[in-house]
Amino acid sequence: MRIRDVMTTDVVVVEPDTPAREAARLLAGRGFTALPVVDAFGGLAGVVGEAELLRDRLPQDPRWLVHGEPAEARQQPAEVVAQVMRKPAVTVSPNADLAEAADLMLQHGVRSVPVVHEGRLVGIVTRRDMLGAISRADRVVEAEIRNRLGVVGGPRRWKVAVTGGKVSVVDKGGSATERHVADVLIRAIAGVTDVEFTTEPVPAGG
């Protein structure tokens, strides 16, 4: 499965000169953990997350200070996103394998990865997107497979069964090329974890 099959293309973004408080409001209101920062040409300039926006923004509560103890000195909080944004730990292309993005998220400890094509932000893929992909009901996955395979050799050529995301396909035909096309189409469907083909012998004289 490719990232383009599950990524979100309608991405909420901010610009370098977006007020930091506005970016924080977007994170809190949308339930995100990070926002891509784009320049005037749609290029990915950076990423800003919860940690960056919270830095130096919450003063110490004076009620908890020992009498006469000075409050901890803090820097002036950032006014705009450009002052706190960071370079993304990793980016991926729309054609990258979804498993690759999952490995990168775990490796770098991030919950989302910007999707970039030719230097421009085209989407974002999150852990939630991946969970949605692998948790689709088998009957929904099977129906989509049957629909797609209907254009490859006709709907009666294939017998399809899906159990726990694993797809078993009985091929009544004999074209290796068409089977390869079918394999590619099936693996691109969200919820598919594995594909196995078997061939049904063609009756003598058929």
Per-residue pLDDT, 55? 74
pLDDT at 186 over 70: yes
Q: What proportion of the chain, given as a percentage, has pLDDT over 90?
A: 40
Does residue 53 surpass a pLDDT of 90?
no
pLDDT, one tens digit per residue, over 82-93 is: 998 988 878 999
Asked whether residue 59 falls in the same domain as residue 83, the answer is yes
Q: What is the pLDDT of residue 60?
A: 52
The pLDDT assigned to 11 comes to 92
Decide if pLDDT at 27 tops 60.
Answer: yes
Q: 3-class SS at 37? A: strand
Tokens linked to 86:
């960071």
Name every residue whose Cβ is closer than 8 Å to that of residue 88 and which is 6 or more positions away in sequence: 36, 44, 46, 47, 113, 114
Rounded to an integer, the average pLDDT of 106-116 is 91
Number of domains in the chain: 2
**Shared-domain flag, residues 126 and 142:** no
- For the segment 116-126, what is each residue's pLDDT rounded down to a tens digit? 999 899 999 99
Q: Which pLDDT does position 62 carry in this prediction?
A: 56
pLDDT, position 72: 58
Could you tell me if 41 and 116 lie in one domain? yes
93, 163: one domain: no
Domain that holds residue 185: 138-199
The reported pLDDT for the residue numbered 31 is 85
Instruction: State whether 149 and 183 are in the same domain.
Output: yes
121 with 162, same domain: the answer is: no
Mean pLDDT (the chain, rounded): 85
Do the beta carbons of residue 47 and residue 88 sit within 8 Å?
yes
Which distant-in-sequence residues (6+ apart) come within 8 Å of 117 by Cβ?
A: 93, 94
For residues 168-192, give the mean pLDDT. Answer: 88
- Which residue among 133, 166, 183 closes a domain? 133
* 18/52: higher pLDDT: 18
Q: Which of 110, 133, 156 is the last residue of a domain?
A: 133
Asked if the model's pLDDT at residue 57 lies above 90, the reply is no
Instruction: Tell me what pLDDT residue 169 has.
Output: 94
What's the pLDDT at 61? 53
Q: Do 147 and 106 fall into the same domain?
A: no
Residues pairing with 166 in the sheet = 163, 194
Burial of 167 (0-12, 13-18, 19+ CB in 10 A): buried
Kindly state whether residues 101 and 182 are assigned to the same domain.
Answer: no
Residue with tokens 């006469």: 68
Read off the pLDDT of residues 62-71 as tens digits, 9 standing for 90 and up. 555 556 555 5
Examine residue 205 and state whether it is found in any structural domain, yes or no: no
50 located within any domain:
yes
Domain with residue 60: its CATH number is: 3.10.580.10
pTM for the full predicted model? 0.68
**H or E element at residue 117:** strand 112-117
Judge whether 92 lies within some domain: yes
